[in-house]
Amino acid sequence: MLLNLKSRSGIVSVILFMLLCEISFSQTPSTVRFIPGKTPAGFESEINNFLRQDSISFPPAGAVLFTGSSTIRKWDSLATDFKEITLIQRGFGGSTMNGLNYYTRYIVLPYKPDTIVVYEGDNDLLKGTNPVEIVAQCDTFIQTVHNQLPGTMIWFMAVKPSFARLKYLPEQNEINRRLKKLTRKRSNTGFIDIRKVMFDREGNLRKDYFEADSLHVNHACYKAWAAYMKTRMRIKK
C-alpha cells in the first residue's frame, strides 16, 4: 500500500511538472526570424532592431500596434498619450506602404494585435507613387492582415498636410478621399482624419504644430491627434 502511494505521488509529481513546463513554454516569446541580408524594401537594420527587441521580450497579443513611417517613429510620447492601452510602436522612418506590406510578416502579423494604426503616404508620393497605387497597396495590407487576423481592426490615419510638402497637397487629398472610401467598403477598417485638428479658426495650417523642418509635427500636434484619435477609436480616457 505504501509503495502504491509513493508511486501515485511520483506520477502526480511528474504530471504537475509537465503541466508547469507547458505553461512555461506557452509563455515563451515566439521564434523570431531576423532579416539575413538586403531586401527589395530596404530598412533591414531598422526591422532587425525591432526583431531584436522581440527576441528579448515579445509583445503581448491583443495590443494596439502603431506602424508606418517617421510620423509613427518620432512619436516619442505615444505610450504616454495613449496610456489607457497596451501598445506596440513599430514606425520606421522613410518607409512607404509598399515597404510596410513587405515587412507585414515580420512586424505586424506575429504580434496578433487587436487593433492596428497605420500612417503612410508622405514618402510614397515623394518617390513617385500615385494616389491610386498607394490606396491599392493599403487594400493589399487589409487583405493580408485579415486573411490571418480577420477580427483585427485596422485604422488608417489621413496623410497629413505640411509646409515642407505643400505641392503634394492635391495628391494627399486624393489619397485621403480614396482611403476613406476604401475603409467604408472593407470590414473592420476605419479612417482617422487627423487633419481636422491641424488648422486654426481661420482655416490656416498651424505653424506651431511643426518642427523646424516644417515637415514633422511636434509634441503639441501629437497630443491633439491623440485626443481626437481616442474619440474616433472609442478608447475610454
| Cβ–Cβ under 8 Å, residues 72 and 90 | yes
The CATH architecture to which 59-232 belongs is: 3-Layer(aba) Sandwich (3.40)
Distance CA 53, CA 50 (A): 5
Distance CA 35, CA 93 (A): 18
Parse the chain into domains and list their residue ranges: 1-28, 59-232
| 39 torsion bin: left (phi>0), alpha (psi -120 to 50), beta (else) | beta
Q: What is the pTM of this model?
A: 0.87
pLDDT score of 9: 44
Instruction: Return the closest-CA partner of residue 131 out of 177, 91, 163.
Output: 177
Q: Express each pLDDT in 175-211 by its tens digit.
A: 999 999 999 999 999 999 999 999 999 999 999 999 9
pLDDT score of 7: 43
Give the contacts of 114 (CB within 8 A, at least 6 positions apart): 62, 63, 64, 151, 152, 153
Chain mean pLDDT for the chain: 90
Q: Express each pLDDT in 48-104 by its tens digit.
A: 999 999 999 999 999 999 999 999 999 999 999 999 999 999 999 999 999 999 999
pLDDT band at residue 32 under the 50/70/90 scheme: confident
pLDDT score of 33: 86
Q: Which of 10-19, 35-44, 85-94, 194-203 is the least confident region?
A: 10-19
| Cβ–Cβ under 8 Å, residues 74 and 163 | no
